[in-house]
Amino acid sequence: MVDLENTKIVTRLIEGEYINYNKIIPSDFTTTVFVDKKALDTAIDRASLATRTEKKSVVKLEIREKRMSISAE
């Protein structure tokens, strides 16, 4: 256990065998994305504004069918 000012972290060791993630995640695909660097940087910066007050800050990039969406969680 780690106890900080406003945060307490409790962990435990789980006995057993972990899943072989190499069999689940495909390794035979490639994706190439061409994007304007400045536009991407601006979009990520705007999305990150929504996460700065949250304890868990996540900016998610999703690419599907020639479209990229950026969201904040």
pLDDT(38) > 90: yes
Q: Look up the domain containing 39 and give its range.
A: 2-72
Quick: pLDDT tens for 1-19: 677 777 777 788 888 888 8
- CA 68-72-73 angle, to 5 degrees, is 125
Total number of domains constituting the chain: 1
Q: What percent of the chain has pLDDT over 70?
A: 92
E strands, 1-73, where? 2-3, 8-9, 59-64, 67-72
